[in-house]
Structure formats: structure tokens, C-alpha cells
Amino acid sequence: MARLLLDPGSLARQLRLNRLESALLLTGLSGLAGLVGLLVAGFEGLISAALAALLLLIVFPAPGGALFRHALGGIPLPEAAAPALHALARQLAARAGLGPPELYLLPMRELQAMAAGDAERPAIALTQGLLAALPPREVAAVIAHELAHVRHGDLQVMRLAAAAASLTRAMSMLGLISLALLLPAGIFAAPAPPWALLLLLLAPTLGDLLSLSLSRRREYLADAGAVELTGDPAGLAQALARLERLQGDDWERLAARGGPRWLRLFRTHPTIRERIARLAETVVVAPAPPPEAWRIAIAAPPRRFPHRLAQRWWL
């Protein structure tokens, strides 16, 4: 019976393409911030602003597990409560070259997962709704996706993109305010060229669109990275399809009601269909059954988590 197997060559090509697209978008975003800064503040002002932004990124590192605890009410998940889940996460992290991940449980009904931290101390948060809805194979794919974000430095990349977009917005606002203050001077003020005014007006929106596009490309990269870790593209595709079936997609519902297609430019994630289509490019049809890389032969954990949370997870 024919089965779907991972095609390493296709996966490698997709990883290269996703990295190239991300690099071009980040370059464009940085270039836009530099152009607006140069126009408004000159070379010295641009360098000062860039150094200030870089200093903020260095002084305030990417948030780790504390983000889940303080911002989302996450509960650190002890290994005794879910040894199989911890073993799975450690195995996937080891394959990715990361340190043992901290696991957090978010007491939410929504089906979500998110990553924080860095390569030495990654942190993964999973909601109760996600763990209740997905079988172990698909949970493995989701965890691999989040670990791929950490492995690829997506948290740092998106912080850099956000800094560039914020710098563009601030410089554009400063430039427009300066022009408004000069208007009463009339003929004594040199008129700004039309292209400069147009750039100041459009740059913030363009910066946001580039940042959102970069976010979507990093999701494709994380999907490919998850497949690289698990060797199981079908598991991730099934998880995505289940998430769409159970939770839906507000953007897609809007499109189904006749919403304009250009609204997709404001998505942080690609559509589920687009992600599954990309995953389909990493498989080939073969007669042999695929190795179930996600399965770990260990004893089942206790059926209930502590903290009186009626949530179960098993392998």
C-alpha cells in the first residue's frame, strides 16, 4: 500500500527558500527604516537611532518562561505530572540542538501553542484545549514546530523586525510633524519634494506589511523545521487540519463572506490550506510505511495533572 514519506531533498529546498525569503524581507524592512531615518534625521540621527534600538535589544533580551507565567497565567508543568510529554519535548529539543525545554500549561480553552526563551533555555506553552483536542502524534508535531521557532532564532528575528518597524513609524511621525510645523513659514521654508512626503505617509504601513509578511515566512520555515525534527509531515498536516476544523479561522470566515482578498496581507500566519500545501511538497509516495519518529516507548504518565486541572495527556 502506497504511503507518504519525507523527501529530504524537497525539505532542504524548502528550508533554503524560506530562509532566502526571510532574509530579503528583513533586508527590505531594515532598508526602509534606514531610508526614512536618513530623510528625517540625516546620517548622524539615523546612526543614533539605530544604536539606541540595538541597545534596547541587547539590554532587554527575548522573554523566556516568565512571559507565560506573568502575562498569560501559565503554570509550570512538573515532569512528574506528564513524564511522557517531557520526554518527547526533550527528545525533539535534543534533535534540534537545544537545551531541555521548560513546559507550561495555559489554562485556556483555545487551541494554541507558543515558544519563548533561547537555545539554552527554550520554553514551550501549551493550552489545555490543545492537549485535550490533539492526539499524541499531532502534539509532537506542534511541539516540534515551536522548537523550530527557537532553533531558527525566530523570536530574535521578529524582535529585530518589530524594532525596525517601530523606528520607521517614529521617524515618519517625526518627519510629518516637522513638515507641519514648517508650513506656517510659507515661502521661507523649502518645500519638501512630493516623493518624500509620500514616503513619510506610506512608510509605517509598508513597514507593518513587511513585518507581517516576514512573520508568515517564518511560519513556513518553522513548519519545515518541525518536519525535519519529526520526519512526519503527515502528523503536522493532520494537526493543522484538526485545528482549523475545531477552532476555525476568523480571516477565512471573513473571506467566505465576501471580504476582500487583500486583507490577507494583514495576517500573521499563512492560511492552513497554504501551510498544508507547502507540507505536501516535502513528501513522496512510496510503498514502505514511514518510521513513526514521534513515538517514544515509555510508560504512560498519571492521568491527571496537579493543580486540580482536569486535563489528561498520554502516549
By annotation, the residues acting in catalysis are: 146
Give the Cα separation of 226 and 219 in Å (integer): 10
What lies within 8 Å, CB to CB, of 92 at 6+ separation is: 140, 143, 144, 147, 229, 230
Burial class (CB in 10 A: 0-12, 13-18, 19+), 110: exposed
Q: How far apart are CA 143 and CA 98, in angstroms?
A: 13
Closest CA to 33 of 201, 195, 203: 203
**Contact (Cβ atoms closer than 8 angstroms) between residue 147 and residue 96:** yes
Contacts of 31 by beta carbon, 8 Å cutoff, 6+ apart: none
Q: 105, 305 in Cβ contact below 8 A?
A: yes
The rounded distance, in Å, linking the Cα atoms of 180 and 174 is: 10
- What Cα–Cα distance (Å) separates residue 244 from each residue in 17, 163, 221? 26, 31, 20
Contacts of 159 (CB under 8 A, 6+ apart): 57, 62
Residue 281 gets which letter from DSSP? T
